[in-house]
Structure 1
Amino acid sequence: MNELFNGIHKIVLPFQSPLNHVNVYLIEGEELTLIDAGVNSSQAWSELEFQINSLGYKVTDIKNIVITHHHPDHIGLLDYFSHDVKVFGHSYNESWINDYKNLQMHFNKFINHHIKAYGIPDGFKKTLIKKETEGVASTKKITNFLTEGQVLPFLPGFKVLETPGHCSTHICLYRKTDGLLIGGDLLINNIFLNTFMEPPMIGSNERPKLLLEYNKSLLRIKNLDINLIYPGHGEEIKEIDLLIDLQFKKQQKRKKRVMRLLREKPHTIYELCTKLFVGLYEIQFALALSETIGIIDLLKEEKHIVINKTDEVWVCNLNPVPAYF
């Protein structure tokens, strides 16, 4: 734990994943505010209590929790807090947090429909289908929805930026006076696979194209006067433009790889996934597939490829009327 700047304290909580940890931020002011809520574990809760106590506070002193997005490592401890605590987040969080059972059924229906279309073997199906015990559901509701440009009275100087891409619910908090961004998982040092496939919103038939949204969010951040990012994982980010440029270079490399593969022959989405992410797809298939679909979305948007959906298994081909690459 350390004080980063003028009453903002980074608290590092344990998280059993390749990342090993998640950052939450305690912000002092007229009211004590926590940004994100870690993973749901007694170990994480004990560590949060210990670090807050070491600052001279108790967890019961926290009046507001702002969540940057709905992923389980950012909302996990919500139910440990008093019902009096106000919870702030994007309105899209509501289905993920409070109506997860219905969303889970919706997601599994979407996956079952697309497994054959993507050419995915049955052996990988279990890595995509959500089990009932895997929900991120919480009994604590989002009490206040956040929207673009909103200013929170208990966080003077900060305004809300809607930054979808990592997921559909993602927001950041931006303070223009000193160029500080509390960035959630928008950018993380040394992480270049950063979008996760989501089903269409309930009531919609269109899957969110999150890598396209992610790139728009990155360009938006790059065009703001930002000097420092406090991320959801890892160390603070100072070389912001460099990291964004690296993200785009990684994407460009993958796009060119797909184009080379399609010049050889048409491929299913699963086949492209296995060739783009050798060594990864076997152990983190959902992540590899999500990024593959994102790259395909980019190439399709740029009119470099087309997808033949006439057969049961969809096939990616080069666009017969090629765009400049």
Structure 2
Amino acid sequence: MDLVAEDLSACNTLIVERMHSHVALIPQLAAHIVAAGGKRLRPLLTLAASRLCGYEGVRHVSLAACVEFIHTATLLHDDVVDESELRRGQASANALFGNKPSVLVGDFLFARAFQLMIEDKSLETLRILAAASATLAEGEVLQLITQNDLSTTEAQYLEVIEGKTAALFAAATRLGAVVADRPQAEAEALDAYGHNLGIAFQLVDDALDYSAEQASLGKTVGDDFREGKMTLPVLLAFHDGDTAEQAFWRRTLEEGEQGEADLGEAQRLLERHNGIGRTIDRAETYGEAAIRALDIFPANEAKLALIDVVRFCIDRAR
């Protein structure tokens, strides 16, 4: 964040400007979720990747804002779909304003993102971000299909997180090479970096859902459990479990019959089968792949920062 502080400040200013609307509820609701926002990781990736590629213009700032609008729009929609009452430890937008306004303001932010894409006047950046937006939506729908279904395979789970998380990470970093007009090999390398980082990031998130305190996770522990989401820690514990354990997972996740003690039992079974630890190990494998993807670039501050991002994402679980 220190490395791209000036660019990030410009990006945040643009985000606030483009959230404006004469319809008062739109900026009010949008400001709520943006103000509650995390570390701006996705736009940070665009800004740092642009610096890594030696870009000295200003296009990366508006494209970083575009990436954040896409991400924020999906958060609004996801919280409605998941019926979430908290977002990063605070009341979610749908809990405060209702489902209908949340969906519609999410649509507004998507529209703002596409306006920024058009203003960039590049068919390539439009192609990258439009494709990522479509893939992101496909990932969310696939997650909905696999919900409450313990026959979900690890391959299907990976397809979900590649769509709902990794696609936008990959687009965000690839943009750095595109705006700098760098060779295709560098664009592909940044795409691979973002893709693997995105998978590692989501694996850690899915592990934390069963292990972290709300203060560090930014949401209540066990959300995925209550919503019947098929994540890697659960799939590992289910497949390694005995008949009684598998019956527990079927009752709580497939049939949705959950009591007050069931989350604690789920955590105990995950610990017994090392579901969380094995998920973090998998995240580290993808993190190492992300770092290797940067080998094509010479060592500099931006490269070191992007490597540190990988370590930061994984170290959240430690």
Common fold: TM-score over 0.5: no
TM-score, structure 2 as length reference: 0.32
- Which one has a larger percent strand, Structure 1 or Structure 2? 1
Larger Rg: 1 or 2?
1
- Which one has a larger percent helix, Structure 1 or Structure 2? 2
TM-score, structure 1 as length reference: 0.31
> Relative CO higher for 1 or 2, CA cutoff 8 Å, sep ≥ 6?
2
